[in-house]
Chain A
């Protein structure tokens, strides 16, 4: 909301500086978001064109003799729209225009020019640059333009929160300024309508949607432009001047906050108004020239035949006030906020009127607004205000009464607030005590219906900075324990960092086509995404991570290791949360996603630069699991839509699948434009947490020495390493094997075609004694025998 400080000072004559006013308003919840100075400066004055002579050799320039009251000057001017005798703005040499242009004596076409005649745009008044601003003939010569326009002024941009429709006007802000400064507010008076029969009929069909309809009639108006200072005031507040009658309704709106509408009474069929619901599909053309199809939920102002306005939103074209209008029916009504909002949204029409009605207007104030506006119309457009009004107001609202207990005020604010102080602030807001601690609320404060509403008023006026700072005892003694989840998550993140993975955070929504390439699941879709690239809720973290790999590659970063820990959104029942009212609408499990491409280690003088592969990814995952205290994870081949069949594999934790990993499928790498050697994993974080151990049990180190043995076997190349490890462990009946390290895999001569050599380092230890060589030999023998029997292993020397 734009507020003219000059206007505000007329309504509440404080002696504060502009900055002080802005600070004060902000401190009571009317946040001033910016300010703009308006003014032309003293060097631009009214002057009469005495003569206008075309300059030879130019098709548009004229040499003018101009009288600015102090003398005659010669000025060269190229505008087309003036004649000798016109009064126009002249910028004297030395004047500085609002756009920064400095006016100097200059030679134009060899002719001396002692100033400049100005268009509205050059004065910063509007965008009109079609010709000079022509002033009224009665303007005294030499009068500064600023004086004519009511400038200089400062315009504040005030952010009015949705609960304060009463503050959407200059009077509204003036009331607030008055409450905090103590300077009484001066609201312009308006005479009551009195008694009289009006030449119109008004009926309201839907009193729920239109609790009050108040109207007055003005006859004999002359439509024309408003005086310059009125136009300037409207423009400064962001409203385009149109004609004197429309400008008067807008002026009243900006002053009092109540939306008003003037109809051309003679264009209303049957000179009647009917406030009713629209018929489904009924057509209507609004003032903006748009043909609209109405719904039964739209409230309209109709005349004897058809809708002439969308109630509380916008007038219609047929009854618009035009050049030939002489009789005005002035509407000042109250419409149901929710209804106006529905209509406004349905038709995509957000107007000054709908903005206020959907927040709730003061139905008692509607009368004063109409009376004030009617007087403004007569002031600006002439004519005669007919005595009397039509007031359809079947159920007048009584004032709201609220109990305010000083004890409660103190308890909520945490500081002692006595009766006298409660009294002072509520009176400042024009609440009236009605006895027993109860207060009558002024009709414009529709937001004050409960004690807590008044407590907030007291708090904001006495200042939030007067509330003390107290730390609750919970902040002193009862610290919350570190949860196991927090601890395990931190441990996993440390492992990921150690493996060089950077953490990514992606949007939860992305293009459905990206998801489809890596997951067969149907996603939940957004009804109103910003772009189709953000239209589907992710069902996997892989698509986002692949996009990240692509982004980095496109920016010349080839070695990428990323992880993301976040939710996916699956349109299916969620068993992890209680059913009933606390249910989660869709399943939102957390996942750990990894993506890896490029060098295992950066190339340097000492090596590095080798491409990372499946085992780098798997090793990182193994370390993460180890950090989380997950014992005995297993990996086994298993297909996945996003993964290359050669390495697609499942992670098994406690016998259940808990994720998958492998090289990206060629179709996937092609779609996301990433290298073929891109490796992906996505783990079920909820399952990992379920099997994690936050605080591990620790044991002392062994007291007896270990015995080391190496064993190498030649087996069929298709035998998986895990099978060999299983058999080795199975052979260890006396549980002497402390650790088995697979340290070499070799294929090629002299190992026969189709077979491979696999070498293991064994560490043997007994907890209670030093092992003898004989015991170690016996175990190695047992292992050899078992592998020979079970997998046809030959022993290598």
Chain B
């Protein structure tokens, strides 16, 4: 009887797997489980086996019927799926038609670079400080070591404001205390150094990104551009810390293989002063046409805050030291986008912006 069960099940599996439609499945069901079906017949024949064998064989038969019903169900599902597949495959989309897009807007390369810089310096412990773009001569020049009639002023061609269109100075502001009333467009972000140091005591760790102005216009100079100022003033700060910050910034902005190099230079408000070069990100420092074969590009000016500037804001330069640097953001942005004409940045041509 056991052999008979196995044989019937094998036969049923064979038959169901070949079933093409619902009728064939129904026919199989009748054949095996109908009134005179072969599996039904086995159940009936249990009456003729010895009583001792009956429970064991009875269970075998019940299991066999259950198995057959599972096979039946599987066969039904498989036919359903086949019919569904046929239905689904009737029509196809042209998947090569362009997708339905919504044109996204694009950030300006300068403001993007500015955000990156603020983020990098935040990780180095610097807060963002702010200052006016229309500034007094006192903060833009005098307190930074550019006295009137000093040739260092030639380093920064300055836009002055028409005195007739200036508002009266606010109460208690420098002009009301006798400082020069002349307003100008700040030529660098460095006046924020003075304002920050007048406003608070050390330690000071700030950066100030913003617009600056010089009366100069050619492919590498626009009369307005962007700088970021960095100032770190507290006890025990040395030029080695300046190098540390510069190096960390350059690597974070341009990539871990970028090298920095300092060359002696002159700014009235720092001493020692340095021009800072980075290894050219494009040629990897090997030298190419863009970096005039040197492998290095000048990207910013830096230095230890001049003791006269510290004394000017009431700090004790014997105890407090610090460093400061200022970088042209537009130039940094141009470098990483490989752009050569600075003036393109401020035309706001959509065909330029949407490349970003």
What's the Cα separation between A575 and B162 when bound, in Å?
23
Query: What's the nearest-Cβ distance from chain B to residue A244, in Å?
Result: 32
Task: Out of B243, B262, B275, B346, name the residue touching A506 (CB < 8 Å).
Answer: B346
Query: What's the nearest-Cβ distance from chain B to residue A356, in Å?
Result: 10
A selection of 28 A-B contacts at a CB cut-off of 8 Å is: A162-B154, A162-B155, A411-B238, A414-B238, A415-B240, A450-B307, A464-B261, A464-B272, A467-B243, A470-B244, A474-B232, A475-B248, A478-B125, A480-B123, A500-B103, A501-B105, A502-B354, A505-B110, A522-B165, A524-B166, A526-B159, A529-B159, A530-B223, A563-B105, A569-B134, A579-B170, A585-B134, A586-B166
- CB-contacts of A505-532 with B (<8 A): 505-509, 522-530
A interface list, Cβ under 8 A from B: 26-29, 31, 161-164, 337-339, 341-342, 358-359, 411-415, 450, 452-453, 455-456, 459-460, 464-465, 467-472, 474-475, 477-483, 486, 490, 493, 496-509, 522-530, 534, 537, 548, 551-552, 555, 557, 559-563, 565-567, 569, 571-574, 577, 579-586, 588, 601-602, 604-606
Most buried by B among A411, A565, A580: A580
Chain B residues with Cβ below 8 Å from A498 are: 102, 104-105
What's the Cα separation between A29 and B270 when bound, in Å?
14
> Quick check: A525 and B165 within 8 Å, CB to CB?
yes
Closest-by-CB residue of A relative to B210 is A567
> Quick check: B100 and A604 within 8 Å, CB to CB?
yes
> Quick check: A29 and B102 within 8 Å, CB to CB?
no
Chain A residues with Cβ below 8 Å from B241 are: 414, 470-472
> Quick check: B263 and A528 within 8 Å, CB to CB?
no
Query: What's the nearest-Cβ distance from chain B to residue A547, in Å?
Result: 8
> Quick check: B346 and A505 within 8 Å, CB to CB?
yes
Judge whether B350 is part of the interface by a CB distance below 8 angstroms.
Answer: yes
Cβ contacts B131-144/A at 8 Å (1 or 0 each) = 11111100000000
Judge whether B331 is part of the interface by a CB distance below 8 angstroms.
Answer: no
What's the Cα separation between A337 and B147 when bound, in Å?
12
Cβ contacts B170-202/A at 8 Å (1 or 0 each) = 111110010000010100000000010011000
Query: What's the nearest-Cβ distance from chain B to residue A586, in Å?
Result: 5
Contact A524/B161 with A500-B104, A574-B170, A586-B132 known, Cβ cut-off 8 Å = yes
> Quick check: B133 and A528 within 8 Å, CB to CB?
no
Query: What's the nearest-Cβ distance from chain A to residue B319, in Å?
Result: 11
> Quick check: A585 and B183 within 8 Å, CB to CB?
yes
Task: Out of A162, A502, A606, name the residue touching B353 (CB < 8 Å).
Answer: A502
Contact A472/B172 with A459-B264, A507-B224, A551-B348 known, Cβ cut-off 8 Å = no
- CB-contacts of B179-238 with A (<8 A): 183, 185, 195, 198-199, 203, 205, 211, 213, 215, 217, 222-224, 232, 236-238
> Quick check: B134 and A537 within 8 Å, CB to CB?
yes
Task: Out of B136, B147, B349, name the residue touching A555 (CB < 8 Å).
Answer: B349
Task: Out of A464, A474, A479, A486, name the residue touching B118 (CB < 8 Å).
Answer: A486
Task: Out of A502, A507, A534, A560, name the residue touching B106 (CB < 8 Å).
Answer: A502
Chain B residues with Cβ below 8 Å from A552 are: 348-350
Query: What's the nearest-Cβ distance from chain B to residue A473, in Å?
Result: 8
B interface list, Cβ under 8 A from A: 97-98, 100, 102-108, 110-111, 115, 118, 121-128, 131-136, 147-152, 154-155, 159-167, 169-174, 177, 183, 185, 195, 198-199, 203, 205, 211, 213, 215, 217, 222-224, 232, 236-241, 243-245, 247-248, 261-266, 268, 271-275, 304, 306-307, 321, 345-351, 353-354
Apart from A31-B263, A472-B244, A503-B106, what are 15 other A-B pairs with CB-CB below 8 Å?
A: A29-B264, A358-B149, A467-B239, A467-B262, A475-B123, A475-B244, A480-B121, A498-B102, A500-B103, A502-B353, A505-B348, A555-B351, A562-B348, A574-B170, A581-B177
Chain B residues with Cβ below 8 Å from A479 are: 122-125
Interface class of chain B by DSSP: mixed
What's the Cα separation between A478 and B243 when bound, in Å?
19
Query: What's the nearest-Cβ distance from chain B to residue A425, in Å?
Result: 13
> Quick check: A582 and B198 within 8 Å, CB to CB?
yes
Query: What's the nearest-Cβ distance from chain A to residue B174, in Å?
Result: 6
> Quick check: B152 and A480 within 8 Å, CB to CB?
no
What's the Cα separation between A528 and B223 when bound, in Å?
12
Contact A573/B240 with A528-B160, A567-B133 known, Cβ cut-off 8 Å = no
> Quick check: B125 and A551 within 8 Å, CB to CB?
no
Chain B residues with Cβ below 8 Å from A504 are: 108, 348, 353
Chain B residues with Cβ below 8 Å from A469 are: 240, 243-244, 247
Chain B residues with Cβ below 8 Å from A499 are: 105
What's the Cα separation between A559 and B350 when bound, in Å?
9
Chain A residues with Cβ below 8 Å from B132 are: 577, 584-586, 588
Most buried by A among B123, B128, B247, B347: B347
> Quick check: B265 and A161 within 8 Å, CB to CB?
yes
What's the Cα separation between A455 and B272 when bound, in Å?
7
Please list the 9 inter-chain residue pairs (A to B) with the smallest Cβ-Cβ separation, ordered nearest first.
A414-B240, A414-B238, A29-B264, A474-B125, A161-B266, A338-B149, A460-B264, A464-B262, A580-B172
> Quick check: A464 and B263 within 8 Å, CB to CB?
yes
Task: Out of A459, A500, A579, A605, name the residue touching B272 (CB < 8 Å).
Answer: A459
Chain B residues with Cβ below 8 Å from A482 are: 122
> Quick check: A480 and B125 within 8 Å, CB to CB?
yes
Closest-by-CB residue of A relative to B130 is A577
Contact A528/B159 with A29-B266, A467-B262 known, Cβ cut-off 8 Å = yes
Query: What's the nearest-Cβ distance from chain B to residue A501, in Å?
Result: 4
Chain A residues with Cβ below 8 Å from B177 are: 581
> Quick check: B240 and A602 within 8 Å, CB to CB?
no
What's the Cα separation between A342 and B150 when bound, in Å?
10
What's the Cα separation between A601 and B152 when bound, in Å?
54
Chain A residues with Cβ below 8 Å from B203 are: 474
What's the Cα separation between A482 and B136 when bound, in Å?
31
Most buried by A among B108, B169, B205: B108
Contact A581/B174 with A505-B110, A524-B161 known, Cβ cut-off 8 Å = yes
What's the Cα separation between A238 and B135 when bound, in Å?
39
Closest-by-CB residue of B relative to A473 is B125
Chain A residues with Cβ below 8 Å from B165 are: 522-525, 571
> Quick check: B171 and A572 within 8 Å, CB to CB?
no
> Quick check: B348 and A548 within 8 Å, CB to CB?
yes
Most buried by A among B107, B171, B348: B348
Query: What's the nearest-Cβ distance from chain A to residue B333, in Å?
Result: 11
Query: What's the nearest-Cβ distance from chain A to residue B248, in Å?
Result: 6
Closest-by-CB residue of A relative to B353 is A502
> Quick check: B248 and A471 within 8 Å, CB to CB?
yes
> Quick check: B263 and A26 within 8 Å, CB to CB?
yes
Query: What's the nearest-Cβ distance from chain A to residue B104, in Å?
Result: 5
Chain A residues with Cβ below 8 Å from B215 are: 528, 530
Most buried by A among B108, B151, B224, B262: B151
Closest-by-CB residue of A relative to B111 is A503
Chain A residues with Cβ below 8 Å from B123 are: 475, 479-480
Chain A residues with Cβ below 8 Å from B245 are: 471-472, 475
What's the Cα separation between A183 and B217 when bound, in Å?
43
What's the Cα separation between A557 and B347 when bound, in Å?
13
What's the Cα separation between A55 and B321 when bound, in Å?
81
> Quick check: B261 and A465 within 8 Å, CB to CB?
yes
Closest-by-CB residue of B relative to A481 is B122
Query: What's the nearest-Cβ distance from chain B to residue A414, in Å?
Result: 3
Chain B residues with Cβ below 8 Å from A27 are: 263-264
> Quick check: B262 and A471 within 8 Å, CB to CB?
no
> Quick check: B162 and A526 within 8 Å, CB to CB?
yes
Chain B residues with Cβ below 8 Å from A456 are: 264, 271-273
Closest-by-CB residue of B relative to A450 is B307
What's the Cα separation between A605 and B99 when bound, in Å?
10
Chain B residues with Cβ below 8 Å from A567 are: 133, 211
> Quick check: A585 and B170 within 8 Å, CB to CB?
yes
Query: What's the nearest-Cβ distance from chain B to residue A357, in Å?
Result: 10
> Quick check: B205 and A474 within 8 Å, CB to CB?
yes
> Quick check: A502 and B223 within 8 Å, CB to CB?
no
Closest-by-CB residue of A relative to B124 is A475
Query: What's the nearest-Cβ distance from chain A to residue B292, in Å?
Result: 9
Closest-by-CB residue of A relative to B345 is A505
Chain A residues with Cβ below 8 Å from B102 are: 498, 500, 601
